[in-house]
C-alpha cells in the first residue's frame, strides 16, 4: 500500500494551555481510501484535522502530501492556502457559510477573485452543475443559505470543498445533521468518488456508517492514536472499546405512571419563513413522568414546534398551555421562568455565546438571579465556583470554566447545556436532537439525564430523527411530517419510517 500513499502525518502534537489535544499522532492515507477517524468528544479529532488543513500550527511533527509527480513532499504547516493548493479540502464540523448569501455565492466565495466571480458566473455554474451530477449532492443554488435546512447546508459545504478540485477530502462529522437515508446516499456518493481516486478522511460518531462505508478506522483517545483496524475486521463492540477503553452501560428505564399534563398544544398553527418551519393544526399533550418522542426527518416543522414551545416563534392560531397557564406569545425568558428547559437543535447558534466564558454561559439563563449578580454586575467568584461544581457533576471537559465556550468540543458544549438546563429542575424539557454529534458515552449520558428528569416528574418532548433514540426513550411517539403531527400507535421501525416519509398513516 505504501506506493499509493497520498498523505502522511508524522508525530503531530498540539497543546492548548494545559490541554494536550494531540500527542504524537501519526497517520497515513492512501489513494482512493476512505479512512474513518474515531474517538470520544474531546479526543482531538478536529484538532488533528485542523493541523492538516493549516488552521493550527502543530507544536511538533510534520505532514507530507503527494505532489504532481512521484513521492511525498513536505506540506508547509499553518497555512490553509498551502493545504488547499496541495489538494486538501476540509468540511468543518460547524457551518462556515455566510447565511445571507446564496449557495452559489458561498461555493464560489474565496475560490475565485471577486472580479472573475462576476464574469465567470456562467462557467462557475456549469462546473457546480457537473459536480452535483458527479457527486449526486444537490442544492438549490440561488437560495440564501440562511433559509436552508441543516442537511442542505451540509451539502453546500461539501460542494464548496469539491469545487476546489481537492484530491484529499476531510469531512468533520458530515452526517451529524443528516437523516440515515441522507447519510447513506452521501456515503454512496463518496464511495463512488473514492473509486475515481478521491482520498477521504471522515470523522463520525455513528459506528453503523463507519463500519458500512470506511475502509480503515483509526481511533484517538485523549489525544493519542490508540489503534487502527481494517473496517472489515471490526465490529461495533471492538471499536467502542478502543474509543473509551471500556463498555458503555445502557441507561435504565423506570416504569412510571404518567402524571398531570405539563404541556398542551391545541390546534396550533405556526407560519414560518418557509413550509419547512411551519406547523398546521397540531395538538399534543405531554404529562409529568413522560417522554413524548417526536420522530421526523429534519425540516418537517420541528423548528416551528420547538420555536413555539421555547417562545421564539409566535403561533398564528391555537394555544400553548404550560401547567395550566396559557402562554401564547410569551418570550423565551418568560417560558424559562415558567419552567421550560431547552436543549436547542443548533447548539452553537442557539445554545451558547461562544465569546463568553463557560462559567458565564452556565448562568446565562438566570442573569436576573441575585445569586448570580448584584445591581447588574456578575458575582465573579460565585459564578466561577458554581461553574466548577457543574462542570464536575456533568463531566464537562476542556480548557476550564474561564475559557471561552467556543473552545469546548461539540460534546462538551452539549454537556454544558445539559448542566444549565437540568440544574434548574425544569418541569418541561424540550430536547431537540439532543445527541446529535455526540459520542456514545456522551449520548448515553444525555439519555440517562433525560430518564432521570422523567423519574423526577418532568415532562419531556424529545424531537429526534434518530429512530433508535426515539424508540429507546419515548413513552409515546408522534410523527411529524410536512408540518403535520400524528400520533403513532405502533413501535414498528418500518411503519414509523414510512410515516416519517409521509407514506403511511
Ligand atoms: N483553540 C483551542 N483552545 C483551547 N482548547 C482547545 C482549542 N481547540 C480544542 N481545544 C481542546 O482540545 C481538546 C480536543 O478538542 P477537539 O475539538 O479536537 O476534539 P474532538 O475529538 O473533535 O471532539 P468532538 O467529537 O466533540 O468534536 C478538547 O479538550 C478541546 O476543549
Ligand atoms: Mg470535533
- Model pLDDT for residues 260-301, shown as the tens digit of each residue: 999 999 999 999 877 778 999 999 999 999 999 999 988 899
Q: Which atom of ligand 1 is nearest to the CA of 56?
A: 1
With b for 16 or more beta-carbon neighbours within 10 A and e for fewer, the 99-133 pattern comes to eeebbbbbbbeeebeeeebeeeeeebeebbeebbe
CA of 99 to the centre of ligand 1 (A): 25
Q: Which of 74-88, 135-149, 195-209, 459-473 has the lowest mean pLDDT?
A: 135-149
Question: Three-state DSSP class for 61?
Answer: strand
Q: Whose CA is nearest to atom 12 of ligand 1?
A: 21
- pLDDT-based confidence at 1, cuts 50/70/90? very low
Q: Which atom of ligand 1 is nearest to the CA of 40?
A: 25
From 13, 25, 46, 412, the mutation candidate for ligand 1 (largest count of ligand atoms within 8 A of CB) is: 46
CATH class of the 259-339+424-505 domain in this structure: alpha beta
Identify which has the larger pLDDT, 499 or 10: 10
Whether residue 361 contacts residue 412, with contact meaning beta carbons closer than 8 Å, is answered with no
Question: Three-state DSSP class for 205?
Answer: coil
All CATH 3.40.50.300 domain ranges in the chain, comma separated: 1-87+166-246, 259-339+424-505
- pLDDT-based confidence at 365, cuts 50/70/90? confident
pLDDT at 421: 94
Q: Which three cell numbers stand for residue 320?
A: 400553548
What is the second-level CATH architecture of the domain 1-87+166-246? 3-Layer(aba) Sandwich (3.40)
> How deeply is 322 buried, as exposed, middle or buried, from its count of CB atoms within 10 A (0-12, 13-18, 19+)?
buried
pLDDT at 468: 83
Question: Three-state DSSP class for 203?
Answer: strand
Q: Which of the listed ranges 41-55, 110-124, 238-252, 405-419 does the model predict with the highest average pLDDT? A: 41-55
| Nearest in space to 416 (alpha carbons), one of 430, 432, 401 | 401
Q: Which atom of ligand 1 is nearest to the CA of 412?
A: 26
If one counts every other C-beta atom within 10 angstroms of the C-beta of residue 468, the result is 11
44: Cβ below 6 Å to ligand 1? yes
Q: Is 80 exceeded by the pLDDT of residue 39?
A: yes
| Nearest in space to 9 (alpha carbons), one of 77, 85, 93 | 77
| Nearest in space to 171 (alpha carbons), one of 185, 184, 187, 182 | 187
Distance CA 111, CA 169 (A): 16
Which residues are CB-contacts of 179 (< 8 A; sequence separation ≥ 6)? 151, 297, 298, 465
Q: Is 70 exceeded by the pLDDT of residue 369?
A: yes
SS3 string, 230-291, reads EHHHCCHHHHHHHHHCCCCCCCCCCCCCCCCEEEEEEEEEECCCCHHHCEEEEEEEEECCEE
Distance CA 34, CA 28 (A): 11
Distance CA 362, CA 405 (A): 10
Q: Which three cell numbers stand for residue 72?
A: 511525498
Which residues are CB-contacts of 154 (< 8 A; sequence separation ≥ 6)? 91, 95, 174, 177, 178
Distance CA 207, CA 322 (A): 38
**pTM greater than 0.85:** no
From 53, 219, 398, 416, the mutation candidate for ligand 1 (largest count of ligand atoms within 8 A of CB) is: 398
- pLDDT-based confidence at 206, cuts 50/70/90? confident
The percentage of the chain sitting over the pLDDT mark of 90, rounded to a whole number, equals: 58
Q: Whose CA is nearest to atom 28 of ligand 1?
A: 42
Give the β-pairing of 224-230 and 216-221.
Answer: antiparallel
Query: C-alpha distances in angstroms, 147 versus 38, 101, 156, 160?
Result: 32, 10, 13, 18
Distance CA 36, CA 219 (A): 8
Query: C-alpha distances in angstroms, 426 versus 254, 287, 291, 433?
Result: 19, 13, 14, 18
409: Cβ below 6 Å to ligand 1? yes
**40 forms bridges with which residues in the sheet?**
none
Max CA separation in the chain (angstroms): 73
If one counts every other C-beta atom within 10 angstroms of the C-beta of residue 225, the result is 22
pLDDT at 246: 64
Distance CA 136, CA 424 (A): 46
Amino acid at each position: 500500500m505504501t506506493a499509493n500513499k497520498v498523505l502522511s502525518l508524522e508525530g503531530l502534537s498540539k497543546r492548548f494551555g494545559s490541554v494536550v489535544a494531540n500527542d504524537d499522532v501519526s497517520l497515513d492515507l492512501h489513494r482512493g481510501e476512505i479512512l474513518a477517524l474515531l474517538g470520544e468528544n474531546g479526543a482531538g479529532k478536529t484538532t488533528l484535522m485542523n493541523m492538516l488543513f493549516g488552521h493550527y500550527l502543530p507544536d511538533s511533527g510534520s505532514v507530507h502530501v503527494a505532489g504532481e509527480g512521484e513521492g511525498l513532499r513536505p506540506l508547509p504547516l499553518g497555512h490553509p492556502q498551502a493545504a488547499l493548493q496541495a489538494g486538501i479540502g476540509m468540511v468543518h464540523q460547524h457551518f462556515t457559510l455566510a447565511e445571507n448569501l446564496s449557495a452559489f455565492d458561498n461555493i464560489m466565495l474565496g475560490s475565485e477573485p471577486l472580479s472573475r466571480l462576476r464574469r465567470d458566473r456562467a462557467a462557475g455554474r456549469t462546473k457546480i452543475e457537473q459536480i452535483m451530477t458527479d457527486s449526486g449532492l444537490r442544492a438549490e443554488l440561488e437560495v440564501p443559505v440562511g433559509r436552508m435546512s441543516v442537511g442542505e447546508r451540509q451539502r453546500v459545504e461539501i460542494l464548496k470543498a469539491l469545487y476546489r478540485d481537492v484530491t484529499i477530502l476531510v469531512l468533520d462529522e458530515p452526517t451529524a445533521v443528516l437523516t440515515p437515508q441522507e447519510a447513506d446516499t452521501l456515503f454512496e456518493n463518496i464511495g463512488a468518488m473514492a473509486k475515481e481516486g478521491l482520498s477521504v478522511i471522515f470523522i463520525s460518531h455513528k459506528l453503523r456508517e463507519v463500519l458500512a462505508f470506511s475502509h480503515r478506522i483509526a481511533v484517538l483517545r485523549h489525544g493519542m492514536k490508540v489503534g487502527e483496524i481494517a473496517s472489515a475486521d471490526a465490529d461495533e463492540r471492538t471499536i467502542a472499546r478502543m474509543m473509551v477503553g471500556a463498555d458503555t452501560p445502557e441507561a435504565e428505564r423506570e416504569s412510571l405512571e404518567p402524571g398531570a399534563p405539563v404541556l398542551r398544544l391545541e390546534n396550533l398553527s405556526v407560519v414560518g419563513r418557509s413550509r419547512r418551519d411551519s406547523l398546521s393544526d397540531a395538538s399534543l399533550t405531554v404529562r409529568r413522568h413522560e417522554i413524548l418522542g417526536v420522530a421526523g426527518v429534519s425540516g418537517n416543522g420541528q423548528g416551528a414546534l420547538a420555536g413555539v414551545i421555547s417562545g421564539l416563534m409566535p403561533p398564528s392560531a391555537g394555544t400553548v398551555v404550560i401547567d395550566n397557564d396559557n402562554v401564547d406569545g410569551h418570550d423565551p425568558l418568560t417560558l424559562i421562568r415558567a419552567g421550560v428547559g431547552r436543549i436547542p437543535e443548533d447548539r452553537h447558534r442557539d445554545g451558547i455565546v461562544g465569546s463568553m466564558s463557560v462559567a458565564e454561559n452556565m448562568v446565562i439563563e438566570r442573569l436576573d438571579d441575585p445569586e448570580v449578580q448584584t445591581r447588574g454586575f456578575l458575582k465573579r467568584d460565585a459564578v466561577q465556583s458554581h461553574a466548577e461544581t457543574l462542570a464536575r457533576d456533568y463531566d464537562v471537559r476542556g480548557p476550564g470554566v474561564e475559557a471561552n465556550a467556543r473552545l469546548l468540543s461539540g460534546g462538551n458544549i452539549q454537556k454544558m447545556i445539559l448542566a444549565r438546563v437540568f440544574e434548574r429542575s425544569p418541569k418541561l424539557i424540550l430536547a431537540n436532537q439532543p445527541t446529535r454529534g455526540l459520542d456514545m458515552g456522551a449520548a448515553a449520558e444525555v439519555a440517562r439525564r433525560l430518564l432521570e428528569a422523567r423519574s423526577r416528574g418532568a415532562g419531556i418532548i424529545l424531537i429526534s430523527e434518530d429512530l433508535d433514540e426515539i424508540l429507546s426513550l419515548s413513552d409515546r411517539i408522534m410523527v411529524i411530517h410536512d408540518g403535520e403531527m400524528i400520533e403513532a400507535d405502533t413501535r414498528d421501525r418500518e411503519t414509523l419510517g414510512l410515516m416519517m416519509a409521509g407514506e403511511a398513516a
